[in-house]
Each structure stands twice: as structure tokens, then as C-alpha cells.
Amino acid sequence: MHQLRTRGRATAPYGLGLAVVLVIPALLKVIPGVAPGYVLYLVSLALIYAVVAIGLGILIGHTGQISLGHAGFFAIGAYASALLTLRLGLPFVVAVLVAGSVSAAIGFLLGLPALRLSGPYLAVATLGFGLAIPQLVVWQGSWTGGSSGLHGLPLASLPLGAFTIVFRTDQDYYYLAAAVLIVLTIFARNVVTSHTGRAFVAIRDSEIAARAMGVDLVRYKTTAFALSALYAGIAGALYAHLLHGISPEDFTVLLSVDFLTMIVLGGLGSIGGALSGALLLTFLQNALTRLPVVHDFKNLYIVVLGVILILTIVFFPQGLAGIARSWRLRRATRTLDRPAGAGQIVELGERSGVR
Amino acid sequence: MTGPVLEITDLTIRFGGLVAVDGLDLRVNAGEIVGLIGPNGAGKTTVFNCISRFYQPDRGTVHFKGRDITRSGSHEIIRFGIARTFQNVELCRSMTALGNLLVGQHVAMRSGVIRDGLRLPGVGADEARATQRADEMLELLGLTGDRDHVVSTLPFGLQKLVELGRALVSDPALLLLDEPTAGADKQEIQGLADLIRRMRDRFDLSVLVVEHDMSFVMGLCDRLYVLDFGRRIAEGAPADVRNDSAVIEAYLGEPELEVTEV
């Protein structure tokens, strides 16, 4: 009974999220003064970033391995998918899956140095990866389009038996992005709440304990890297087809920092946190660009964003997930018959009642 | 089973110029509780770390049930049947007591990220089986009330108990206990000796215990090895070791000497 209740409480936000996803397009049509197309484009972008954030959250939040180079995987996914559809004429679905797989394979390889590096050292190594990818794209300009990028990507489409769904409008693409996010959210939740997820957290908590309990660090660290790169790669592919065009400028280190900001803002070690952090940061960034320019200071909004981030981390170090958790806890303790922690101070001899 | 469960031959390991363990021979027979004692810095924990493969010895071999594990990976040995605890407790501190006991069953469960992510058939059943096993162990150790508490919020004594449960739940043949009495008071220490003996009987364990507290090992162990500066200076039944002149000399000036008179 107790377990049922906690599970119900944990999945409730997801049901709510799904309802919101379905309601948003209709809602936008009745709100006067908004351009539904643009807002849906922006929401799609946020959903795509949320896919990256969830993958990165598994790597950093659950497994405790830092990455400052996830824009690199995002770029790999975007370019792989763009090239496959443009140059080889592969179907969109195939291109997205291949893009995710290529990114995952490279993530696996980047996971290998992570076996020897940790903390700031790993941060610098992954940063190097993130810096290198756009440069490689520019260098290989003959087939990647160089610094001017790739443009005119075909519309996303999904073959279903005899029919083919073509995602023409912003609303169509919004539903596609939402569907991918939902599937990948469920997958991520399943992973972190199971055997594999426990091994990840065991590594984060104590590598020594994890090893002694039989967790193969090589296997699980590379798995975490590959999994988070898969998410970033799929998201990159969706991003390319959302914009119908990409260039190396889309994938700077600043984007990697944004991804990190999303999961910290949302709360490390929480799937729902990563998701909501991505949505919040994307909307916040967009909203703040609308601030009036004061005294010719055009980038004032970035300073405002910085202040908001500092305040959030100082007052809510566990992010949005932490706020939600303490709120739930307060509600739960009000209804709990027995305060948590009672009955702990019993003597060891009495407690270990082995028969 | 014939032959010793654990057999260490000529184990030697150096750190820089310091010889931490020097030509140690040690064996643990089936069902035995063996103590490894000695003054601070004698190399006791280093021996443990060689057995559990955190350190690579410079010389010598470690055999477990006849299998040479001197070159095995640290994550492999629990599969062979060796589980350990740590001097200062190495728990997965953000997890609950239950979570830690599920980690203890890591190698007993089927794994695969795709299998887990898609919740393929069998995942739920595996989880349920492991959870039931963990719950049984928690009950055995009197930890049922702490099942869903994050272990970092538990008092140190209970954390040690959770760590013991995590080792036991892996169904080991050999249990390595590194200073189980650390941080425990006198009454708890007595309970702990009873507990270890009962666990040995219940799970058909062999136990190797590193200890500081002399009265504890004297009462608990079938046989003792005494280490000083990485060398074995005595071996035998507790009563013999207690009266060994080399042992008394090694412990001279150490506060533990007083405890031996208890």
C-alpha cells in the first residue's frame, strides 16, 4: 500500500505533463496576441533540449561523471542526420536512429578516458571534445558545408504501413518532439529505477563500494557515456530537422554549458528535474531577451539570467526537483502517523535479533 | 570441500621503499573465523585490499577455493564468493538501506541497459526476488524499520550493520570484515561477536576479520594471525597467541595490551 502510494505520487507529474502537451496547441490558438507557430517552435526546441538534459542527467546526476562537451554529441547527431537525409536521401526515421547510434558509439569511446579521469580532469577532457567537434565540421567543409552549414533539410516523416505521416507544420513537429521526449523519458526512468541505474548511483556514491559489490566500472561508465550520447545524438537530429538547417555556430561550448545549467537548475539525479530544468532555462532565456535595452546595454538579459541562476543555486541547491521533493515531504509528514526516524536509537544487541 | 577456502602464499607488497606486507602465509579453512591482528600500520588492511583485489601484490599468490585470484579484477571476486566490509564504512550513502542490499545482489541479477530501459519480461520478477531477499536480510539484522531510510542519515552503528547485510546478501562463502567494532561501544561489541558467529552458522561462512580490539578477537576467533611491520610474528589459537612473547613485545606500549587482560 505504502509502495503503491509513493509510486502513484512519483508518476503523477508525468500524467500531468502529458495532459499539458496535448492542451498547449489548442490553448495557444485561443490566447490573443501570441503567434502559435513561433511558440510551438520554441516549445519544440525546449523539448529537444530536455532530451539532451535527461541523458546528461543520467551521466552527471546519477553516475557522477561530468561532461562539458555534450554540445559535441548534439552536433554529431545533427550532422549525421542532416548528411544522411540530404546526401544519401535516407528516410528521416532511419537517419535519426543512425545519428543516435553514431553519437552513442562515440560516447562509448569518450567514456574510456573517463575510466582514468574524474572531476575537473574529466571536465577538461570532455570540454576538449566539445571544442573539437565544430572545428572538425568546419575543416571537413567539402561534405559538411563548412562554416556556412547545411540547409534545406527535408521534412520529417514517419512511414506507418501504407501511410506516411509528414510533419509539415510547427504543430506537427511539436507533437513529434513531445512523443520522442515521452518515450525517452520513460526509458530513462526505467533505467535509473532498475539494476543498471543502481549500478550508476553506486559508482557515484562510492567507486570502491561499487567495485567490491561487483559493479564493472569499465562497463557501466562507458554505458552511461554511450546512453547520454545517444540521447544527445537523437536530440541533435531532431534539432536539425526542426530548423531545416544547421551550422557549426549552433554547437558552441556555450550550449554545453547551457545543458549543464539545465540539469543543475532542475536538480541533479532527477529525471523530472532535468526535464523541467531544460524547459525553464529555454523559456527564461527567450523571455529575458525581450527585456528592454537600458543605457545601450544589449546583453543586460544575460546578466539578469546570471543573477537568477546564482539565486536559484544558493537558495535551492537541489533545484526544481528539490523544491518539489520538500513540498511532497511536508505534505507526507503531515499525514504520517509516525515521524520518520523514530525508533532508530535502539541498541545494536537488541536490534540484531538473529534466531 | 577439501583444502582451505582461502590460501595466501608469500604475499608481499611494497609502497615506495616501505614493505607493507612481507612474505605472509595465511589460510582460512571452511567454517573458520580467523582473526588478523596487529598494531597500527602492521599491514592488516593492506592484506584485505590484496585479497579483494584493490592492491596488486608484488609477490605471492592468493587462492580462493583452489582458484588463483591473484590477477582477478576487484569487481570479479564477489562473483567467486568473497564479500567484504570496510573500516570506515563504504556504503552507497544516497541510497536507502534496501537500495544498498539490492546493490549487494548486483552480480546475482541479470543486467543490460536496454533490457532495463524497455522493462523486458523478467526485469520486474528479478527486482521482486532481489527485494524479497533484501527484506529477509534486513529482518534478520533487525533493520526492517530502517529499510527506507537513506543510509547517510543512520547512526554509524546501523550503517555498519547495513554494510554487513550488503555483504551477506551476496551469498558469500568468505566474509572479510575490516574492523567491525570500530565506533561501537562495549555492549555493542559483545552483540557483534554473537551476530558474526550466528551468521557464520546460518550461512555456512568462513570469516576473516581484521581487528584492533583484542578482547573481541580473543572471544570470537578460532585462530589468529598476528602481524607486525608486515610480517607474521605469531599464529595459533587465541590462548596461545595471548601468551606469545613476540606478540606481547609487539603490543608493548600499545593501549591494546590492557584489553588483553580482560
Buried b (16+ CB within 10 A) or exposed e, A261-294: bbbbbbbbbbbbbbbbbbbbbbebeeeeeeeeee
Closest CA to B230 of B69, B34, B27, B46: B46
* pLDDT score of A35: 81
A337 and chain B in contact, CB less than 8 A: no
Closest CA to A214 of B104, B53, B3, B155: B104
For A342, nearest residue in chain B (alpha carbons)? B145
Better-scored residue on pLDDT, A2 or B88: B88
Instruction: Indicate yes or no: CB of B127 within 8 angstroms of CB of A195.
Output: yes
Beta-carbon contacts of residue A236 (< 8 Å; ≥ 6 apart): A52, A73, A74, A75, A76, A77, A78, A79, A80, A81, A99, A103
As a whole-number percent, the residues of chain A with pLDDT over 90 amount to 59
Look up residue A337 and give its DSSP letter. Answer: S
pLDDT in tens, B188-224: 888 999 999 999 999 999 999 999 888 899 999 999 9
The label of the residue with cell 574510456 reads A112
> Helix, strand or coil for residue B110?
coil
Instruction: Indicate yes or no: CB of B75 within 8 angstroms of CB of A341.
Output: no
CATH of the domain at A65: 1.10.3470
In a domain, A355, yes or no: no
**Stretch A121-141: mean pLDDT:** 94
Sort A345 into a burial class: Cβ within 10 Å, 0-12 / 13-18 / 19+.
exposed
Q: Domain residue spans in chain B?
A: 6-81+172-260
In a domain, A161, yes or no: yes
Instruction: Indicate yes or no: CB of B149 within 8 angstroms of CB of A202.
Output: no
* Average pLDDT along chain A: 87
Q: Which residues pair with B208 in a beta bridge?
A: B34, B176
This prediction has a pTM of 0.90
A199 and chain B in contact, CB less than 8 A: yes
Look up residue B31 and give its DSSP letter. Answer: T
* Count of the separate structural domains present in chain A: 1
For A348, which of B119, B157, B166 is closest by C-beta distance? B157
* Local confidence pLDDT in tens for the 262 residues of chain B: 568 999 999 999 999 888 999 999 999 999 999 999 988 888 999 999 999 999 999 999 999 999 999 999 999 999 999 999 999 899 999 999 999 999 999 999 998 999 999 999 889 999 999 999 999 999 999 999 999 999 999 999 999 999 999 999 999 999 999 999 988 888 888 899 999 999 999 999 999 999 988 889 999 999 999 999 999 999 999 989 888 888 888 876 554 544 443 3
| Domain B6-81+172-260, CATH among 2.60.120.10, 3.40.50.300, 3.40.190.10, 3.40.50.1970 | 3.40.50.300
Residue A276's domain comprises: 2-337
Q: Sheet containing B18-28: give its strands across.
A: B18-28, B6-15, B59-64, B67-68
Q: Compute the distance between CA of residue B87 and CA of residue B47 in angstroms, rounded to an integer.
A: 13
Q: Compute the distance between CA of residue A31 and CA of residue A159 in angstroms, rounded to an integer.
A: 34
Give the amino acid at A327.
W
Sort A344 into a burial class: Cβ within 10 Å, 0-12 / 13-18 / 19+.
middle
Residue A161 predicted with pLDDT over 50: yes
Q: In chain A, what residues touch B110 (CB-CB under 8 Å)?
A: 195
For A347, nearest residue in chain B (alpha carbons)? B188
Give the amino acid at A96.
V
Helices (runs of H) and strands (runs of E) counted in chain A? 15, 4
* pLDDT score of A341: 43
Identify from B103, B146, B196, B205 which residue to disrupt to test chain A contact, counting A C-beta atoms within 10 A and taking the largest count.
B103
